[in-house]
Amino acid sequence: MAGKDREGFSSRSQMTALLRKSVGIRDRVVVALNDTVFAAWIARRLRRLGWGVHLARSAAEARRLTAEFSPQVVVLDTRLWDQSGWLTCEKILRYDPTLKVVLVASQRERDGDAFAKFVGAAALIHQEDGMQALIDEIVETGAPVI
């Protein structure tokens, strides 16, 4: 049973998903964006869809909230004030590789999509694509089905 814990789960996120499903806890997301207005819109929309939203003001806070609340999705600005979203993504995924991380870029960057894949992000959304593109990417995940 290499790679599995005592109960037969292969990851912490699978155990969390089963617990959430059994007690009716809603999906969670951590959002760390430099644009506070955009972040507030995203949070409001996700809350209306039934998500638990935790807003972070920095990369360090995003990592702390991720460890504390075990969200299904983490949304990171590529240019957070204390650390790049690229590096923060890599650090978060080192802790839980099954987590979905979505990067948000305020402007298009050359080779951005390739670099997002390199650091393990599930997607790179450009802020100019609008709020709905980001909401669709987040909601597509939901809790993993076991």
- Domain limits, the chain: 31-139
Q: Which residues of 52-86 are buried (b: 16+ CB within 10 A; e: fewer)?
A: bbbbbeebebbbebbeeebbbbbbbbbbbeebbbb
Q: How confident is the model at residue 6 (pLDDT cuts 50, 70, 90)?
A: very low
104, 56 in Cβ contact below 8 A? no
Give dist(CA 91, CA 145) in Å, integer. Answer: 25
Q: What is the largest CA-CA distance in the chain?
A: 47
**CATH number listed for the domain at residues 31-139:** 3.40.50.2300
Give dist(CA 123, CA 104) in Å, integer. Answer: 9
Query: Does residue 143 have a pLDDT over 80?
Result: no
| Per-residue pLDDT tens digits for 61-102 | 999 999 999 999 999 999 999 999 999 999 999 999 999 999
Give dist(CA 54, CA 52) in Å, integer. Answer: 7
3-state SS, residue 18 = helix
**pTM higher than 0.75:** yes
